[in-house]
Amino acid sequence: MHPGTLLALSLAAALAAAPGSLLGSRPWMASQGVGWATATAAGFMLGIGYVLLSTGQAIGPATTLLGAAVGVGLMRVADGVPGAPRSGSDIARVSAPPPTAFGLILGTTLHSAAEGLAIGAAAAAESSLAAYLLLTFAIHNVSEGAVLGAALTARQWRAGAAAVRAVLARSTQPLTAVATLLLLRAAPPLLPWCLGAGFGALFYLIVAELLPQSYRYVGRTGIALVVSLAAGMVALMGGTP
């Protein structure tokens, strides 16, 4: 996939966070809506991670697994950045203000960069795989935007301002995607490493942040069903390389 095409498509996917944020400004999102949106995001991420891992394993099994460990480590380090929320439950805690408004948006920005790594690696592996991931991430961005929108409007932000911040926070997704694609064109042997790192980063977000956040609002049985259905749909549509 051409870098310009990737940039345009990933920017379009990032813009999906705006309508998601506007949905998140509705009162019902302050309760169970956040949990269901987060569970859907977790399911999409799990399905995407499966496709990335399968693609990397077909190219270089050992380096893909090592890359996954690197991805988990990078996300763990990102959680330690001053001002960023330490967990998904901090992002969705609508009953008490976060340490700073900057921290709310910073957490989403760092997560979006990890997702951009996955998109860029997919684009370097196969154009059709990248197109599939971009479509899935566009849907995912709606749910992620809803979560951030609910959190910001619950803290007296206007719906329009929250939507703008949601899109800006997702802007690291297309920027990191293009940077990753350019890197892999210059150094193709890094492809399985980046595919693995994309999987590891997404897996960390699911286990450490998205699932605990969704459990807090809805409960485990319903969340397990939603995550399983969403992940299965994404994995089946993505196919096995």
Could you tell me where the beta strands, DSSP code E, fall in the chain? none
Asked whether residue 7 carries a pLDDT value surpassing 80, the answer given is yes
* Mean pLDDT for all residues in the chain: 80
Lowest mean pLDDT among 85-89, 110-114, 193-197, 205-209: 85-89
pLDDT for the residue 218: 66
Percent of the chain with pLDDT over 90: 28
pTM of the predicted protein model:
0.79
What residue ranges do the domains of the chain occupy? Answer: 3-238
pLDDT tens digits for range 115-168: 899 999 999 998 888 888 888 788 778 877 887 887 788 778 888 888 898 898
Asked whether residue 103 carries a pLDDT value surpassing 70, the answer given is no
